[in-house]
Amino acid sequence: MAHSLQPHRPTKAEIIDFAALEGHDADMPSNLGSIHHVPSNPSTRPHSPSNEKDVKSSALEKDIEKGANPVSSSIAGEPDEEAERDPNIVDFDGPDDPQNPMNWGFTKKWGMVLLISAITFLTPLASSMFAPGVPEVMRDFGSTNDMLEGFMVSVYVLGFSFGPLIIAPLSEMFGRLPLYHSCNLLFIIFTIAAAVSTNMSMFIVFRFLMGTVGGAPMVLGGGTIADLIPREHRGTAMAVWMMGPTIGPCVGPIIGGFLTVAKGWRWNFWFVAIVAGAFFVISFILMRETSAPVILERKTKKLRAETGNEKLKSKLDSGLPTKELFRFSIVRPAKMLTRSTICFAISLYVAITYTYLYILFTTFTAVFTNQYHWHGGITGLSFLGLGVGSLVGQFAYIHYGNRTVSKHIERGDFKPEQRLHIMCIGGFFLPIGLLIYGWSANFQTHYMVPLLGTGIIGFGLLMTFMPANTYLVDVFTTHAASAMAANTVLRSLMAALVPLSSQKMYAALGLGWGNSLLAFVSLALVPIPFLFIKYGERIRARSTVKL
């Protein structure tokens, strides 16, 4: 029975990067192991379960904003002499073990990547696809409540703020595959339920549940890609996968506009259910588990049964009970959001800009119908500018943002705040786009002018959203996933609730001054990245934030 170790010794940077992609903190095990804080003297390193628990508890008291410079740490799961001598540690059988997802064939790997990317495209698309059909929904359910009109669209995003907090720890316990299958199946069921809803309450409840389980591929997708694709080839896969949450919400209403005219608003949901059903069948047949901790745990159980050796233990076994997994997933992000200046300020910036996206989603149909007399499927084209701008923004960030940071990494003088330079530029595009869109629609200029304005808004959104997220990863390193979770919860809550008053705002202020108000708020946020570029390092050095 050979349990040989892989020759590559993972660095802390690789483990942190990998864990962030998987959606959990780096003190929990992944394919590359995990980071645990231990006494610097190897002779005093604890081995008993009780001592290990004490070590993990002490690690929780670490300053989370100084995550990049731990006082003393070691990498759990790395190839060390102790592990090599222990015959009870179960690992992959060498670097070419076919059980290791990294060793799967090209077709199997990229087939999974494409399938996951397709699912990740569908669920965000469903968030806004029926937006052009909102007036029909209101008419069918006999409602004239402006607040409900917006909430029907944004309640889906409210589900995004709760689902990931549950899905992430469950995937640590049971693996990614059961969560993919169960969430995909529930998504289909809730989508069908929304399609056959007979009243507003039923419709809104099932829209919320759609969002709750629909967030699964966005929680699990990055980790699955990290499981399968080596770091040097991961950029392409990540770019394809990220198009789902970026472009999906903008493409959805374009399809939905024409589908609503042809078949009615309910067919937006039937369409999503049919496509999701096809993806579910394909994934059930083709997808396999990719989480190394889960694969090794299954291997360990099998070997225990075959050999009768109950001392066998997976190399990536965290030893964390269910209670601790949920604690990491739910409590830690809440603490980071309320106690960390950097996490709160950056998350607030992202939340407000993300909220603007859903204010536009919930009002585009009414604006272009009233101002430009667009009807039927044509109203869906009002979302085109936002989609094109978002796509351009994504590629601009990937090219210029990564190139700038790479120069500093090569020089050896990289600091997390250097991620924010491109955010400083992107921040100005939001108010400019909002002013162009608002006043051009107000004065009913040619429709291309407000579409241009929304394109600039989309560009600005991506140029602020993406560097902000990567900055959080660089600042919080080991606890990057918790910072991202805090960010996700705040932005999802705001994007679900703030747009409820958007119709009343435009009714009171008009399109020109209403969007000017949004522009002024976004302009007030512009100094945040400038301040962190200047004072961020000092804030992190003086931080006393504890988990």
Residue 314 has pLDDT above 80, yes or no: no
Q: How many angstroms separate the CA atoms of 368 and 386, rounded?
A: 14
For residues 422 and 34, which has the higher predicted lDDT (pLDDT)?
422
Based on the fold, state whether residues 221 and 344 are members of the same structural domain: no
Based on the fold, state whether residues 273 and 339 are members of the same structural domain: no
Residue 49 inside a domain? The answer is no
Based on the fold, state whether residues 253 and 131 are members of the same structural domain: yes
Q: What is the mean pLDDT of residues 166-185?
A: 86
Based on the fold, state whether residues 269 and 189 are members of the same structural domain: yes
Domain CATH number, residue 434: 1.20.1250.20
Q: For 111-159, what is each residue's pLDDT tens digit?
A: 888 999 899 999 888 988 888 888 899 999 988 887 888 888 889 988 9
Based on the fold, state whether residues 132 and 277 are members of the same structural domain: yes
SS3 76: strand
Q: How many angstroms separate the CA atoms of 493 and 535, rounded?
A: 29
Based on the fold, state whether residues 346 and 269 are members of the same structural domain: no
Tokens read off for 350: 């992202």
Q: How many residues does the chain have?
A: 547
Residue 423 inside a domain? The answer is yes
Lowest mean pLDDT, pick from 22-36, 51-65, 169-183: 51-65
Residue 72 inside a domain? The answer is no
Strand pairing of 89-90 and 313-314? parallel
Based on the fold, state whether residues 267 and 398 are members of the same structural domain: no
> Which residues, 6+ apart, have CB-to-CB distance to 302 below 8 Å?
none
Strand pairing of 34-36 and 74-76? antiparallel
Mean pLDDT of the chain: 81
> Which residues, 6+ apart, have CB-to-CB distance to 381 below 8 Å?
254, 257, 374
Based on the fold, state whether residues 280 and 347 are members of the same structural domain: no
For residues 482 and 79, which has the higher predicted lDDT (pLDDT)?
482
State the residue range of the domain holding 520: 322-547
Based on the fold, state whether residues 183 and 249 are members of the same structural domain: yes
Asked if 15 and 30 touch (Cβ cutoff 8 Å), the reply is yes
Share above pLDDT 90 across residues of the chain, in percent, rounded to a whole number: 29
Question: For the chain, what is the domain count?
Answer: 2
Residue 311 inside a domain? The answer is no
0.85 exceeded by the pTM?
no
Residue 19 inside a domain? The answer is no
Burial class of residue 295 (count of CB atoms within 10 Å of its CB; 0-12, 13-18, 19+): buried
Based on the fold, state whether residues 381 and 273 are members of the same structural domain: no
Largest CA distance in the chain: 79
Q: For 150-167, what is each residue's pLDDT tens digit?
A: 888 889 988 988 887 788
| Residue tagged 């200029």 (tokens) | 445
- pLDDT interval class at 71 (50, 70, 90): very low
Residue 137 inside a domain? The answer is yes
Q: For 520-539, what is each residue's pLDDT tens digit?
A: 999 999 999 999 998 888 88
Residue 330 inside a domain? The answer is yes
